Amino acid sequence: MKRLMMVASLPIFFFLIFLTTTTTFAQPLCTDSWAPVTLKAPLAFCSYNGSSCCTSATDSSIQKQFKSMNISDPACASLVKSLLCTKCDPFSAQLFTVEPKLRTVPVLCNSTFSGNPVQSKDTTADFCAQVWDTCKEIPIQNSPFAPSLQGPAGASASSSKLTDLWQSENDFCNAFGGPTGGDTVCFNGKSVSFNGTQSPVTPKGICLERIGNGSYLSMAPHPDGSNRVFLANQAGKIWLATIPEEGSGGTLELDESSPFLDITDDVLLDTEFGMMGLAFHPNFTENGRFFVSFNCDKVQSPSCSGRCSCNSDAGCDPSKLGTSNGVQPCQYQSVIAEFTANSSSSSPSASTSARPTEVRRILTMGLPFTSDHGGQILFGPADGKLYFMMGDGSNKGDPFNFAQNNKSLLGKVLRLDVDNIPSAKEIDDLGLWGNYSIPKDNPFAGDSELQGEIWALGLRNPWRCSFDHDRPSYFLCGDTGENGYEEIDLISKGGNYGWRIFEGPDVFHPTSTPGGNTSAASINPLFPVMGYPHSALNNSVGSASVTGGYVYRAAADPCLNGRYLFADLYAGAMWVGTENPVNSGNFSSTITPFSCSEKSPIACDAVEGSSLPSLGYIFSFGEDNNKDVYIMTSKGVYRVLRPSRCNISCPLESKTDDNNAPGASSSASQAENVQLKLRIVLVAFVLLLLGISSR
């Protein structure tokens, strides 16, 4: 079995490993969330070659837009053409989507972005000023610089000169300019490039405290913004828990005997089966809707029956799959079900339990084999759509090539609209797998050659994905390997991540191919942005399986800010991934040591013969509403603390937060200091009164 997820505490087989750093490939991204395509020939108008966010059709459309502007001045025309063609840049998403809506032109480099009048005319640092000086008196029809499209209210969009549209260069560059240098991305008239300087501060380690003994697979912050979280175990129970304040000495507060939801009777529990995911609707506080994904056995449960993922549409014959340990093909199913909070009030947030019966079955799909079926669900923070991570569902090596099969949902990231539920007839007519609709902006929506539910493909078994809070376009997934490589992928719209043609960056050679092959030349594979070979680990289990994590955005450890935390299930190792430069998609990852605070509310187990903490199997990561990161393991729940709690040096951690008192929270320490000062003042005042009375 590739991934072992047992609910009981398991003995730890720890690792002996040297610190290593692995640099992998950059991952560009287009404005529409697609990954760039590899051009077979240079674009005729925009002249991009190699990798580009434009096809020849897009290039032709940009050329028509440019001609419609009827720009008479050659210098201004050249600049405007370069701005329009920036949409073809492989990193165009970084240039156009820095605001809630897509910009009409890229961010123009402007070294005086503070709002002061632009003074320097350097063509690189102050490209915005160059655009203004060159085009300010030149008529531009259908101008992309119209204030009605972007910027403060001003002249009507029919005006065509910059001086008609904007009062000054300062106003123009405040609307269209962006800061130059550092970690920012702006357009200076050339294709995007990044300053490759290294980050000045490297994390020395990760400090942990153990706040719970339970074994969980999923954590979700309560949508009401409180210090409560939902915790789900593999067996099929969800609890509502309160997170203790750091330094309080408290542990997770939850009532084991009173779960928020208990569907253990419906859930198939085995080493690779159970409740796999939990997601709360973005409007849960108003509608009480939430969703769980789990596995079931149709032999035991009549409601478990769904279509087999090995079917004629996918070119697969279930009778040729054989049996696995006595299990018939598609006897076991992957399910997404909707539930609702059991609240009699108008506020679902006040509910401490859920209604035990499903509201509706969103999806039911039969699994061809008993491994590699992912199961995580989460809502996109920017689009409100439900993402479902589905493995290739296969036996060793994906012999039926499901991950590359355009008509199969296996080995894919799916994107579903659960707010617009079609009628039963529409579901049948469209060939859907349940009660959802296909978002119109899905990459293959309406394409008869591909399943419309697919957002990305070519994955083996995605295990734990997350969106970056500060940059929702960064969607990172851990994808478990087969024989030699564990990977972290930056998921993009329509991206193909190569399995089973590639395992990580390496060509994969399957031992059995009854489902046929896909040639490497027929796809445009996106290679992992981070990862590690199995040979880098030395643990007595003799296996590896990546556990995806989060881009760290909490306040506790400033040396981890903006870095991606992930781990290995078996080795008990954790990595810190650093994007350098920021927004470039170019990552390096380093195995990073971790320690346990001496004042951990629950003592951490130690590795035999060592003072290092033993976490057991690392199942998953989680976050709360403060963006603090948690690690869910076979030995309990751990929270990432500020480094000083473990005497780990971090130059970015302020002394006021440290207080030279590892194990105590800053708020608690400050409160104790105030109380001490009050006592001193009170004692002094009493002594003064005694002195006066003695006279």
For residue 7, is pLDDT > 70?
no
Burial of 446 (0-12, 13-18, 19+ CB in 10 A): exposed
What percentage of the chain exceeds 90 in pLDDT? Answer: 64
Sequence-distant (6+) residues with CB within 8 A of 616 are: 9, 10, 11, 12, 572, 605, 633, 634, 635, 636
**Cα Rg of the chain, angstroms:** 28
Q: Which pLDDT score, from 0 to 100, does residue 15 have?
A: 38
- What does the pLDDT average to over 489-503? 96
Q: Which pLDDT score, from 0 to 100, does residue 469 have?
A: 94
pLDDT by residue (tens digit) across 432-464?
Answer: 999 999 999 999 998 888 899 999 999 999 999
User: Residue 380 corresponds to which amino acid?
Assistant: G
For residue 489, name the pLDDT band (cuts at 50, 70, 90).
Answer: very high
Residue 105 placed within a domain:
no
Residue 565 sits in the same domain as residue 675: no
For residue 618, is pLDDT > 60?
yes
Q: Which pLDDT score, from 0 to 100, does residue 152 have?
A: 39
Sequence-distant (6+) residues with CB within 8 A of 129 are: 110, 118, 120, 121, 169, 173
CB atoms within 10 A of CB 417: 18
CB atoms within 10 A of CB 517: 12
The span from the CA of 677 to the CA of 655, in Å, is 19
The span from the CA of 115 to the CA of 480, in Å, is 48
pLDDT by residue (tens digit) across 51-104?
Answer: 889 999 999 999 999 999 999 999 999 999 999 999 998 888 878 864 456 788
For residue 620, name the pLDDT band (cuts at 50, 70, 90).
Answer: very high
Residue 621 sits in the same domain as residue 675: no
State both tokens at 388. 């479902």
Q: Is the peptide bond before 679 cis (omega within 30 degrees of 0)?
A: no
The span from the CA of 78 to the CA of 75, in Å, is 5
pLDDT by residue (tens digit) across 502-513?
Answer: 999 999 999 999
- What does the pLDDT average to over 200-209? 90
pLDDT by residue (tens digit) across 359-387?
Answer: 999 999 999 999 999 999 999 999 999 99
For residue 690, is pLDDT > 50?
no
Residue 392 sits in the same domain as residue 435: yes
Contact 194, 584 (CB under 8 A): yes
Dihedral sign, CA of 355, 361, 362, 363? Answer: positive
Q: Which pLDDT score, from 0 to 100, does residue 177 have?
A: 86
Least confident of 5-9, 165-169, 290-294: 5-9
Residue 596 phi/psi, 5-degree rounding, is -115, 135
How many helices and strands, by DSSP H and E, does the chain display?
10, 33
Bridging pattern class, strands 108-109 and 177-178:
parallel
| Domain range for 682 | 654-689
Least confident of 110-114, 189-193, 616-620: 110-114
For residue 321, name the pLDDT band (cuts at 50, 70, 90).
Answer: confident
Of 627, 646, 665, the domain-final residue: 646
Contact 336, 307 (CB under 8 A): no
Residue 55 placed within a domain:
no
CATH number, domain containing residue 513: 2.120.10.30
State both tokens at 108. 């123009």
Q: How many folded domains does the chain comprise? A: 2
Three-class secondary structure of residue 687 per DSSP:
helix
The span from the CA of 525 to the CA of 496, in Å, is 5
Residue 313 sits in the same domain as residue 457: yes
Residue 46 placed within a domain:
no
125 vs 181: which has the higher pLDDT: 125
- What does the pLDDT average to over 643-652? 95
For residue 326, is pLDDT > 90?
no
Contact 640, 629 (CB under 8 A): yes
Contact 37, 524 (CB under 8 A): yes
**Range 625-657 burial, b when 16+ CB lie within 10 A, else e:** eebbbbbbbbbbbbbbbbbbbbebebeebeeeb
Residue 25 placed within a domain:
no
Residue 112 placed within a domain:
no
585 vs 529: which has the higher pLDDT: 529
Residue 568 sits in the same domain as residue 681: no
Residue 346 sits in the same domain as residue 374: yes
Residue 677 sits in the same domain as residue 594: no
For residue 37, name the pLDDT band (cuts at 50, 70, 90).
Answer: confident
